[in-house]
Structure 1
């Protein structure tokens, strides 16, 4: 059994302003995505993406924040926010949904690409292979905040969290950082050149990497949810699944359908 390390979630505070580890993880994740997308755009000589990258990144940041917040409101605590609608804007109190953030990024990215004539599927691939870095850092931020911990356990590495009672729990944030972050990155990053190979590869249409991201993230997160404490206001839902597992099931199926659709579209074009 381990005790949660004494981690101050605030790095430095000046008056009412505070820099927190969790916020820093977000900044590092966005910065890593920006730099790696730029690197790929240069590698593939995609000048239009390079010209639009700054504005696209700002659009996606707005999309992930808005989508993440609205996703939490709709998926995890709608009755509360219907009763207290102004609390929707109290983001400093916490409450962000990854799945809502994904929807926000996809919608904002699609709108931006339509308006600027960028190829959405090509751009989605560039970002999909970089996303695990931000996800892994975000889960480390959750661990530093002592939040989103796991279910009670008797394993040797079970940890007592300050707000989790006296029983040891799975450090599920670290499981997520490993699978959703490091392992997912190691799966996707080596595949980044596949859709760009010439002559056109029937097995790797543009958008494939986005589909693989949805599939593998959905699978990894679904499995980790067995170790993660369900949200207290929801508990376990349909067929004993958590809300995270229900959303990951939809995510995994969406990834499979997307890959099938892209392959069908490519086959039609190549005929």
Structure 2
């Protein structure tokens, strides 16, 4: 049976400055945003809309603010408000992990709204442009969670070849849920969305597809992750992550239908 290696969360130190793996994964996420964005700018239908590298660099600045501020606020408000309000200084300790994707998602939506107004770009075109650039960044964040030994999975069948003991939790075999989410919510979603966005689509279709598919993927992978908390409604138990993903599925599907109907009208 596999055992989580519990690596040192500090990648290296420069004098009193400690650089954490979790922070480096965010740098990887932002770097891939730029690299993939440059490839996306070369796609004929994107080039025809006059997207430039300067737009990409500018959006990255706003996006970083949206991810960090939104992700941290989401973690505080959606998942663990009692702890953070009783330990207010911990709200600033982002190097320890604890970033909500759903909060970061809302933060980026708001940040891009600000940037689109500044750049005089249609906001829906902005969402369509950046949607395929998000999943691999999300995957990098989940690798950071794994290095930090965060988000342990639910107890698994010991016969599962990749069942893993997390010594910081207990001695039970568990699903390596951050790896599941990196592969399914991140890499698989990227492949599907990148292929979908390679050709011109109706305005809003790419952004809506991302919202819907991420919601579906996250709802599925949450079954393998130890929930932050669960609620039972009409005899059905769902986790906090699933509750936050359900609106994404419904809204994304509705927007996708709307985008194609408007295009055909």
Q: Hey, what does 1:88 align to over in structure 2?
A: 91
- Residue ranges of structure 2 left out of the alignment (5+ in a row): none
Q: Hey, what does 2:181 align to over in structure 1?
A: 176
Q: Hey, what does 2:78 align to over in structure 1?
A: 75
Q: Hey, what does 2:191 align to over in structure 1?
A: 186
Deviates more, 1:68-77 or 1:155-164: 155-164
- Residue ranges of structure 1 left out of the alignment (5+ in a row): 196-203
Q: Is the 8 A contact 1:143 1:174 kept in 2?
A: yes
Deviates more, 1:80-89 or 1:107-116: 80-89
Distance 1:20 1:3 in 2: 22
- Per-residue CA deviations over 1:186-223 (Å, capped at 9, x if unaligned) read 1111122322xxxxxxxx31221111111111111111
Q: Is the 8 A contact 2:4 2:164 kept in 1?
A: yes
Q: Hey, what does 1:18 align to over in structure 2?
A: 18
Aligned residues: CA RMSD: 1.9
Deviation for aligned residue 1:140: 1.5
Distance 2:71 2:57 in 1: 21
Distance 1:178 1:85 in 2: 33
Q: Hey, what does 2:259 align to over in structure 1?
A: 262
Matched, 1:145 2:148: yes
Q: How does 1:110-129 map to 2 (within 5 A)?
A: 110-129=113-132
Q: How does 1:223-262 map to 2 (within 5 A)?
A: 223-231=220-228, 234-238=229-233, 239-262=236-259
- Per-residue CA deviations over 1:106-160 (Å, capped at 9, x if unaligned) read 1110121022211222222221112111111211221111111101112232111
Q: Hey, what does 2:215 align to over in structure 1?
A: 218
Specify the SS of the correspondent of 1:129.
helix
Specify the SS of the correspondent of 2:39.
helix
Specify the SS of the correspondent of 2:224.
coil
Specify the SS of the correspondent of 1:18.
strand
Distance 1:78 1:6 in 2: 27
TM-score by length of 1: 0.88
Aligned residues: 258
Aligned in 2, Cα 1:49/1:120: closer, same or farther, shift over 3 Å? farther
Q: Hey, what does 2:168 align to over in structure 1?
A: 163
Q: Is the 8 A contact 1:49 1:118 kept in 2?
A: no
Deviation for aligned residue 1:6: 4.8
Deviation for aligned residue 1:99: 0.4
Deviation for aligned residue 1:39: 2.4
Aligned in 2, Cα 1:185/1:92: closer, same or farther, shift over 3 Å? closer
- Per-residue CA deviations over 1:56-85 (Å, capped at 9, x if unaligned) read 210011011111111111111223344455
TM-score by length of 2: 0.89
Aligned in 2, Cα 1:186/1:68: closer, same or farther, shift over 3 Å? same
Q: Is the 8 A contact 1:48 1:118 kept in 2?
A: no
